[in-house]
Amino acid sequence: MTVRRVDLAVDAFWVLLGLAISAHAAALGLWAPSGPGGGFVPLLAGAVIAAGGAGLLLSRARPAPGVPFWSARVAALRVLAVLAGLVAIAVLMPVLGFLLTAIPTMAFLLTVIERQRWPWVVGLAIGSSVGLYWLFDRILEMALPKGPFGF
């Protein structure tokens, strides 16, 4: 996957997004008896997004060298691993609570980015998760999600 391809895809996305916003805005009503309707400003925003995307697409009419989007496969895998960790937190935290989600996710992220000795990983994952839980839930009273065991 090259930067140019991603650029083109994103430009096309802007055009489609802008058109979709404009269409939906028109349905909201552009003008009311008292003045501009709820769709007036979104229509303008959508039109600018679509025009900007089209302008960017036109600016890429000339072929350009194919620079890869990711410098190495391992770099892409690291990014995907972090995203997977975030998705796991969003899915599991309401069910298992903060601590039971944070500890394995931390351990996963510490291991997957660079292989390290497991006692160190486990210690750090438990220590930092419990530390953050204690600071934000107990000291700052931010009420983090609780799991079946009450934490």
Partner 1 sequence: MEVLRELATGFGVILTPANLYYCFLGSLVGTLVGVLPGIGPLAALSLLLPFTFTLPPVPSLVMLAAIFYGAMYGGSTTSILVNIPGEAASVVTCLDGHEMAKQGRAGAALGIAAIGSFVAGTVGNLGLTVFSPALVAIALRFGPPEYFAVMILGFVVTLYMIGGSPLKAMVMLATGVFVSVVGMDIVNGAERFTFGSVNLSGGFDLVAVVMGLFGVSEILLNVEALARGEVFSRKIRGLLPTFRDWLDSWAAILRGTAIGFGFGVLPGGGPVTASFLSYAVERRLSRRPERFGHGAIEGVAGPEAANNAAVAGSMIPLLSLGLPSNAVTALLLGALVIHGVQPGPMLMTQHPDIFWGVIASLYVGNVMLLVLNLPLISLWVQLLRIPYRILFPSVLLLTVIGTYSINHNIFDVWVMIGFGLSGYVLRKLGYELAPLVLAMVLGPLLEQTLRQSLIMSTGNPAIFLTRPIAAALVLLAAALVAVLVLRQRRLGLAGADATQHPTEGSP
CA 12 to CA 20: how far, in whole Å? 12
Shortest distance, position 94 Cβ to partner 1, whole Å: 5
Nearer to partner 1 (CB atom), residue 7 or residue 149: 7
Decide if residue 73 touches partner 1 (CB under 8 A). no
- Express the helix, strand and coil content of the chain in percent, nearest 5 each: 70, 5, 25
The residue count for binding partner 1 (CB under 8 A) is 69
Minimal distance, residue 44 CB to partner 1, in Å: 8
In angstroms, the CA 92 to CA 148 distance is 12
Answer for the pair 4, 57: CB distance below 8 angstroms, yes or no.
Answer: no
Torsion angle defined by CA atoms of residues 103, 109, 111 and 113, in that order, rounded to the nearest 10 degrees:
-170
Chain residues binding partner 1 by CB under 8 A are 3, 6-7, 10, 14, 18, 21, 24, 28, 31-32, 34-36, 38-42, 44-46, 48-49, 52-53, 55-56, 58-62, 69-71, 75-76, 78-79, 82-83, 85-87, 89-90, 93-94, 98, 102, 105-106, 109-110, 113-114, 124-125, 128-129, 132, 136, 140-145
